[in-house]
Structure 1
Amino acid sequence: MSSITSISPEVSHGDHNYLDRLLQPIRKYLDGVEVNNRKMAHWLCKLIPAQCPFERDIKLFGHLLFHIPPMCKLNPLYDQFIGLRFRALSFLADDCGEDISRYC
């Protein structure tokens, strides 16, 4: 029994490294995207939500039955998408001088 428990962390750690290596080119690409087009910035702000759309409170007759937690952080590219959205918002606010309150 102890041999199984000692192997499990190594296997999951190995799988995690494999996923990281597999996603690294996509992460680098998303981190390297420069937002310098107003139309593209608006599109990105509409496409990438400001908060997780999956988080919900399930109520019945005004009583909370259960809460579905935000699952967006389970996305391995979550940080890259949020960074891209932030760059788009910054471009619109700083370079274009637009009011970005509708995207917040």
Structure 2
Amino acid sequence: MNVSHSTIEDRSVSTWIWTEPGNIAVENQGNHHRSKRRFDLLQPLRQVLDNMDVRDPELAHRLCEMIPAQCPFERDVKLFGCTLFHIPPLCKLNPLYEEVSNLRFRALCYLADECGEDVSLYC
């Protein structure tokens, strides 16, 4: 039995449904309970980013350069002292922000721990 093959097949069904303890709603219908699951179209991409293993120094440098170290700041756009509109922090607009920032962190750890490089340039 090929473990990785069967694992991938088993995961393909669950990749489109994302459930967290806070996101499951339970309906009480008589004597039985039915749970609703939230459909998450980005879950396959989330899994790819979370499972991405950084083992190439060139890729790690590229990731650290491309992904910002912190969330871009929010601002108010004003004209003649009157606020026209508010731009929220851009990380709140990116549904994959946590996965991308975790990928950047793994790249930094790889460069520092495995390659022994100084990563203060990227901080």
TM-score (norm 2): 0.58
What is the number of equivalent residue pairs in this alignment?
86
Report percent identity of matched pairs.
Answer: 63
Q: Output the aligned Cα RMSD.
A: 2.7
In structure 2, what residue type is equivalent to 1:51? Answer: Q
Match in the other structure for 1:43: 62
Match in the other structure for 1:3: none
Q: Name the structure where strand makes up a greater proportion of residues.
A: 2
**Partner Cα distance (1:70, 1:79) in 2:** 14
Match in the other structure for 1:99: 118
In structure 2, what residue type is equivalent to 1:82? Answer: S
TM-score (norm 1): 0.68
Give the unaligned 5+ runs of structure 2: 1-35
Q: Name the structure where helix makes up a greater proportion of residues.
A: 1
Give the unaligned 5+ runs of structure 1: 1-13, 60-64
Residues 1:89 and 2:115 are matched in the alignment: no
Classify 1:28/1:54 alpha carbon distance in 2 versus 1 (closer, same or farther; 3 Å). Answer: same
Partner residue of 1:28 out of 33, 47, 58: 47
RCO higher in structure (CA 8 A, sep ≥6):
1
